[in-house]
Structure 1
Amino acid sequence: MFKNAALLSAAALVCAAPCIASDSDEPYSVSVWARLLFGPDGKPAEYAILDEDKYPAKFVENVKVRLARAVIPPPHIDGIPTTLRTGVELRFTVTRTAQGGSVRVDGIAMGPLPVKQYFASYPRDVARSGGWQGDVTGVCTVGVDGRCRSIEVAALPGIPESVRKFMRASLEGWEFEPQLLDGQPVEGQYTLKMRLNTLDDAPEYFREDKFLRVLRSR
């Protein structure tokens, strides 16, 4: 049996369509994922940023510095330190400034690495309510096959049941690379937080990468 495996939950916040307009100057969240192998000493032995070529070179350099400094309590199997290969998510908040943009580091989390994302059809009752906004959270227990073995959905009282079903139906379509303890897949947890926002005017599905445009304009 293994103990002290340091299998931390990964958490992501996404905006579900319809969402914010692309020309908004409000701060917004960005996640960058990496694969990281911790050695038996709890220090990084290997790391790679997903879609590295999509990001500005200086930003990638900063992310790699943070990954290289990451340290965890070494996971153990039968009292013996071992390796842990895991997904690592770095979360940032981007804000427009007169100089182009600023980036704030919000946190880092480990967990199964998402390799396929899926979002169910936007709830019809919410889509008909202009100006409606609400948050919902889904916790997926990722099995060794990389699929959600179980899903728990939480939301504040008053959130329509259709929103809860939307979260569950979405996570059922996600796929992950499970964490590897001593080279063997283990269960982990992934937390997805969604903010649904129906605009008063014609809705827009925000998929463009404003984060990259802001960084490149600096």
Structure 2
Amino acid sequence: MSYIRMIASALIALATVPSYANKEPYYVEVWANVLYGTDGHPVQYSLVDEDKYPLAFADNVKARVAKTKVPPAEADGMPATLRSGVRLDFLVTPNADGGGQVKMAGLSMGPIPTKRYAASYPDDIGRTGGWEGAVEAACTVGVDGKCRLIEVKALPGMPESVRRFAKASLEGWSFIPQELAGKPIEGEYVFQVRLHTLDTYPEDFRQDRFLRLLHSR
């Protein structure tokens, strides 16, 4: 797994920007299934759910993937191939004339999610209108494509219910594991959880909102 973490920061891609947009700024997450040869260059690659993207955008993403490179992999001291998911994050900013700009916001490697699951929304947070918060959960993906170990990181004071929500959610996810020399290996997937409760509840002026939240934990 240490090798996978190392090459995640070593990916190289061009900054060519496609132009398609929607009504408001939004993020697009695109996954590619890539086989890197023994020299660290892609020899096979395809986009996950490619047919849901505009053709020009998909072609641009594949062009980026084709130019990525990782340090050559080894297995038992011998050169080896590496198959991995490559995640590309884009921020799409629309223009007034109907066009738009797309900026790459992130590039990383890891197991490819095939099933996503969200646990039940925390009751205490759900009762607190206007509450916002986020945690980060790291999932160690086993060779079976399931989360073998989950570590949730959060700032001090974060309700325990949010930590439990993140862990319970990731426990329901499934992945395509990475492969070294054609064999599945452990990998890591980092999941950022952001919660926002709409402020639709009547305000209770008898008790401070922050205190109510602490008491509900």
Q: Which amino acid aligns with 2:86?
A: V
In 2: Cα distance, 1:109 partner to 1:200 partner: 35
1:71-128 Cα distance to aligned partner (Å, 9 max, x none): 0001112332110011110011122321333211012111111111110011111111
Alignment-derived partner of residue 33 in structure 2: 35
Q: Which has the higher contact order (CA 8 A, sep 6+)?
A: 1
**CA 1:97–1:199 in 2, change beyond 3 Å: closer, same or farther?**
farther
In 1: Cα distance, 2:90 partner to 2:32 partner: 14
**CA 1:120–1:161 in 2, change beyond 3 Å: closer, same or farther?**
same
User: Does structure 2 retain, via aligned residues, the 8 Å contact 1:3–1:76?
Assistant: no
**CA 1:127–1:8 in 2, change beyond 3 Å: closer, same or farther?**
farther
Report the identity percentage: 54
**CA 1:69–1:29 in 2, change beyond 3 Å: closer, same or farther?**
same
Detail structure 1 runs of 4+ shifted over 3 Å in the superposition.
2-10
User: Which of the numbers 49, 59, 62 marks the counterpart of 1:61?
Assistant: 59
In 1: Cα distance, 2:8 partner to 2:166 partner: 18
Does 2:195 correspond to 1:175? Answer: no
Alignment-derived partner of residue 49 in structure 1: 47
Alignment-derived partner of residue 16 in structure 2: none
TM-score w.r.t. structure 2 length? 0.80
Alignment-derived partner of residue 112 in structure 2: 113
Give the deviation of 1:8 after TM superposition. 5.1
Which ranges of structure 2 fall in alignment gaps of 5 or more residues? 10-21, 202-217
Alignment-derived partner of residue 207 in structure 1: none
User: Does structure 1 retain, via aligned residues, the 8 Å contact 2:4–2:187?
Assistant: no
User: Does structure 2 retain, via aligned residues, the 8 Å contact 1:93–1:105?
Assistant: yes
1:12-67 Cα distance to aligned partner (Å, 9 max, x none): xxxxxxxxxxx994x43221011000000100000000111111111011101100
User: Which of the numbers 76, 79, 94 marks the counterpart of 1:78?
Assistant: 76
SS at match of 1:99: coil
Q: Which amino acid aligns with 1:59?
A: F
User: Does structure 2 retain, via aligned residues, the 8 Å contact 1:9–1:190?
Assistant: no
Give the deviation of 1:9 after TM superposition. 6.0
> In the comparison of the two structures, how many residue pairs are matched?
188
TM-score w.r.t. structure 1 length? 0.80
RMSD: 2.2
**CA 1:99–1:81 in 2, change beyond 3 Å: closer, same or farther?**
farther
Alignment-derived partner of residue 206 in structure 2: none
5 Å matches for 1:21-32? 25=24, 27-32=25-30
In 2: Cα distance, 1:187 partner to 1:139 partner: 13
5 Å matches for 1:113-192? 113-192=112-191
Q: Which amino acid aligns with 2:30?
A: V
Q: Which amino acid aligns with 2:82?
A: L
**CA 1:28–1:158 in 2, change beyond 3 Å: closer, same or farther?**
farther
